[in-house]
Amino acid sequence: MSIEGTVVSLPVPKPLRLADAALFLDLDGTLAPIAARPQDVRPDPRRTRLVERLGRRLEGRLAVISGRTLEDVDRILEGAVTCVAAVHGLVRREPDGSVRQGQPHPALPLAAARFAEFVSRDSGLLMEAKGLSVALHYRLARSHGEAARQCAQAIATETGLTLQHGDMVEELRAPGPDKGDSIRRFLDEAPFAGAHPVFLGDDATDEDGFAAMRDLGGTGILVGPQRDTAARFRLAGVDEALAWLEACA
């Protein structure tokens, strides 16, 4: 949140009333520390027990909203969460376990080839193919950040792919639902319908979710350093987010 260009310090949220809440959680940077490489994030017993407990207390009104693939979300959370919006909302697993997803964009192979050419510049660069998107990570080669942004923007302009800016990552994805859209769709159906939505996220990719909270009268909670955001509350980092969730559970 900002007022005339000044970032406003956000308060810590009070514990949730789980009886009337629906909880939507980002994964990387919110439930799990961000790793240098996406594959380095591993399952954690504390995290798995927490989301299992929250799911029971919320009677199923729990969903993970992540840029990860569905397979990666299940790997990291050990299959503990049924409702998942993966690849920023392009893949969605429903409360009954069924999976819906969009169609791959025909320009994705071209984007992957361009990113593969780009990562050959430095061993610290990494390309991640997600089926409906392709991501270029530069956390281990930050000097290439501006060039990575320019490369991704040029491909998006040429192909019509949606460009998603993230934390040390540029991602090109098929046009379609974003995190905010995914939350809205979950709230249209049981068991989420009628509940007060709460969304925790850390990255620029989570701003669509925070905007949905603002529009729906819900609660947006930023995890991480203070910045300009549509969220109303803030927790300082992953450890604080996990502790807050444990207190709620």
Q: Which residues pair with 101 in a beta bridge?
A: 91
CA pair distance 96, 94, nearest whole angstrom: 5
pTM: 0.93
> And the tokens for 171?
């991602």
CA pair distance 42, 110, nearest whole angstrom: 31
CATH of 16-101+177-248, one of 2.40.50.140, 3.30.1180.20, 3.40.50.1000, 3.30.450.30: 3.40.50.1000
Please name the residue that has the structure tokens 């503990």: 80
C-alpha R_g of the chain: 18
The domain 108-173 having CATH identifier 3.30.70.1020: the answer here is yes
Q: In what order do the strands lie in the sheet with 219-223?
A: 99-101, 91-93, 83-86, 62-65, 21-25, 196-201, 219-223, 233-235
- What residues act catalytically? 26
Q: Which residues pair with 40 in a beta bridge?
A: none
Parallel/antiparallel/unpaired status of strands 6-7 and 21-25:
unpaired
146-192 pLDDT tens trace: 999 999 999 999 999 999 998 899 999 999 999 999 999 999 999 99
pLDDT class of 102 with cuts at 50, 70, 90 = confident
Buried b (16+ CB within 10 A) or exposed e, 153-182: eebbeebebbbbebebbbbbbbebbbbbbb
* Exposed / middle / buried, residue 99 (Cβ in 10 Å: 0-12, 13-18, 19+): exposed
Q: Give the single-character DSSP code of 142.
A: G
213-243 pLDDT tens trace: 999 999 999 999 999 999 999 999 999 999 9
104-154 pLDDT tens trace: 999 999 999 999 999 999 999 999 999 999 999 999 999 999 999 999 999
Give the pLDDT of residue 4: 46
CA pair distance 221, 235, nearest whole angstrom: 7
pLDDT class of 1 with cuts at 50, 70, 90 = low
In the chain, which residues fall in CATH 3.40.50.1000? 16-101+177-248
CA pair distance 22, 166, nearest whole angstrom: 25
In the chain, which residues fall in CATH 3.30.70.1020? 108-173
Parallel/antiparallel/unpaired status of strands 83-86 and 169-173:
unpaired
